Amino acid sequence: MPDYTVINPATEQPVTTVTLTTAAETDAAIERAAAAQVSWRAVAPGDRAALLRRFAAEVDAHVAELAELEVAGSGHPIGQATWEAQHVRDVLLYYAAAPERLTGRQIPVAGGLNVTFHEPLGVVGLIVPWNFPMPIFAWGMAPALAAGNTVVAKPAEVTPLTARRIGELALAAGIPPGVLTVLPGKGSVVGQRLVDHPLVRKIVFTGSTEVGREIMAGCARQVKRVTLELGGKSANIVFADADLERAAATAPYAVFDNAGQDCCARSRILVQRSVFDRFMELLEPAVAGVRVGDPALPETEMGPLISAAHRARVASYVPDGAPVAFRGTAPGGPGFWFPPTVLAPAGADSPAFTDEVFGPVVTVTPFEDEADAVTIANDTPYGLSGSIWTENVGRAIRVARGVETGNLSVNSHSSVRYWTPFGGFKQSGLGRELGPDALDSFTEVKNVFIAS
Ligand code: NDP
C-alpha cells in the first residue's frame, strides 16, 4: 500500500506518514457503509440526535489537539485552527437538532390522504479540499448523518490528519462503525470510486471548477445526486460614500485570510474612481499590518501556502513587471511563504484579475458608477461571494440584487454562518450547503397515498 508523507508547510519538515487507501479498500468501505446505513436510518430520531450531540462533545474535548494538527499539517494559524475545530462542534450541534424535526406532510386527497416522508439517500460520498479540511468536512458530514445517511469521506491527499482524527472521535462518541468512514487517499483513486460506485447515492464535492465539472459528468452517468462548491473570484465593491477607513482596514482580511486559499476570498477590490487614491493610501498600512509568520503563535494572522507547487502557481500571477502597488511581509527561510501582494490598477487583461489565484494576491480596479461596478463584478464565470461598502441602503440593496453571486455581505466581509445557506451562482457551484434547509439535499421526498 502506498504512503503519503504530510509536510508542515511552515517548516517543510515531515509531520507523519499516512497510508493511502486503494480502490479495492474504497469499495469495501462503501459496502460496509451501505450495510451500516440500514441500521443507522432505523435509529430513533431522538437517539440519533443524542449520538450527534455526544460526537460534538467529543470534538469539543479535543479542540486543542485538532487545532494543533491543523497547524502542523496545513499551516493554519492557531487562532484560526481553533475556531475551525470549534466550528465542527457547532455544526454537529446545529444538525443534531434536525432528526427530531425531519417531518413530512399530510395532504388530504379524494378517497384518503397522502403522507410524505423525507427518506435518507443511502451512502453519501464526501470529497473535501485542502484549504479548509475541518469546516468543509463538517458541512457535508453533519447534515448527511443527521438525515440518516452514512458517509464515506475523502480528505484532500495533502491534508488528511484532522478528518482522520474526527473519524476516530466519532467512534469514541458511540457513532456505530461504518456510519462515518474517513479514507485518506488520492482523488483519482478514492474520489473516483466514490463517484463511480453505484452504492454511493450522492457526492458532496468542494474544490476546483475543473474537477467539479468531471465529477458532475461522472454523477450524471448514474443520475447520482451532487452538490458542488467550486471556485470564486469575488468582488469587494467600495463606493465613494462608504466608511473608507473601515473598508480599507478590513479588506486585507477579506482576501489574505488563510493565505488567500479561500473560495470566498474578495480577490478583486473595485473602488469608485473619485476615492481610489484615498482608498489606496488607507489600504497600504492595513496590508503592511497583516501579521504573517509562524502559525503556532497566537498573534499570527496569515501562515504559509499549502505547498511549493502551489506557491509557484501563485507566484506566476505576479510576474516581473506586474503592477505591484505594495506588498506586506513574509518570513524568509524554510516554509512556503508568499507576502500579501496588491496589484493596481488591474483590469481584464491581467490573469490575476480574471483567474482564481487562491493565494494572497489582490487586484484593485477603479469603477465609475453603480452600473459600472455591477458590470465589472459580474464579468467572471464565478459567483460565490462578495462585499458591498456603502452608507446608502438603497444602493446596497440594488447592487446586492444586481451582483450574480450566492453570498454577499454589506459593510462586512463575512461569508459563512452555519445556520444560513451557502453556495454559488454560475460556475461557482450547484446546490446549497448549511442553513436550515440542508437536509433537503440529503433526503428524497416519498409520497404515500393511504386509501380511506
Ligand atoms: P481539486 O479540485 O483537484 O481537489 C479537491 C478534492 O477533489 C481533493 O480531495 C482531490 O483529491 C479530489 N479530486 C481530485 N481529482 C478527483 C477526481 N478525478 N475524482 C474525485 N475526486 C478528485 O483542487 P486542488 O487541490 O488541485 O486545487 C486546485 C485549485 O482548485 C486551487 O488552486 C483553487 O483554485 C481551487 N480550489 C478551490 C477550492 C474551494 O474551496 N472552492 C478548494 C480547493 C481548491 P486529491 O487531494 O487527492 O487531489
Ligand 1 pocket residue status of 129, Cβ below 6 Å: yes
**Mutation test of ligand 1: which of 208, 380, 430 has the most ligand atoms closer than 8 Å to its C-beta?**
208
Peptide bond between residue 176 and the one before it cis (omega within 30 degrees of 0): no
pLDDT of amino acid 415: 86
Catalytic residue ranges: 229, 263
With a CB cutoff of 8 Å and minimum separation 6, the contacts of 254 are 236, 265, 266, 387, 413
Q: How far is the CA of 52 from the centre of ligand 1 (A)?
A: 28
Q: Do 423 and 431 meet the contact criterion of CB atoms below 8 Å apart? A: yes
Beta pairing partners, 330: none
Answer whether 408 contacts ligand 1 (Cβ < 6 A): no
Strands lying side by side in the sheet with 407-410: 324-327, 341-343, 361-367, 268-272, 235-238, 385-389, 407-410
Residue with cell 480596479: 365
- The predicted-structure confidence for 265-281, as pLDDT tens digits, reads as follows 999 999 999 999 999 99
Residue 172: pLDDT band (50, 70, 90) is very high
* Ligand 1 contact, 128 CB (< 6 A): yes
Q: pLDDT tens across 42-100, in order?
A: 999 999 999 999 999 999 999 999 999 999 999 999 999 999 999 999 999 999 999 99
What residue has cell string 506518514?
Answer: 17
pLDDT over threshold 80, residue 365: yes
Report angle CA 22, 24, 30 to the nearest 5 degrees: 100
Quick one: pLDDT at residue 2? 84
Tell the residue nearest (CA) to atom 26 of ligand 1: 208
The 10s digit of each residue's pLDDT in 388-407 is 999 999 999 999 999 999 99
Neighbours of 130 (CB within 10 A): 19
Give the closest residue (by CA) to ligand 1 atom 10.
187
Atom of ligand 1 nearest to the CA of 185: 47
pLDDT in tens, 216-239: 999 999 999 999 999 999 999 999
From 26, 74, 127, the mutation candidate for ligand 1 (largest count of ligand atoms within 8 A of CB) is 127
Q: Is 70 exceeded by the pLDDT of residue 428?
A: yes
Reference 428, options 139, 232, 162; nearest CA is 232
Ligand 1 centroid distance, CA of 410 (Å): 30
d(CA 243, CA 278): 12
CA dihedral 41, 45, 50, 53 (to 10 degrees): 80
| Residue 348 pLDDT greater than 90, yes or no | no
Distance 228 CA to ligand 1 centre (A): 12
pLDDT in tens, 119-164: 999 999 999 999 999 999 999 999 999 999 999 999 999 999 999 9
Is the pLDDT at 1 greater than 70? The verdict is: no
User: By percentage, how much of the chain surpasses pLDDT 70?
Assistant: 100
Cell numbers 452608507: residue: 391
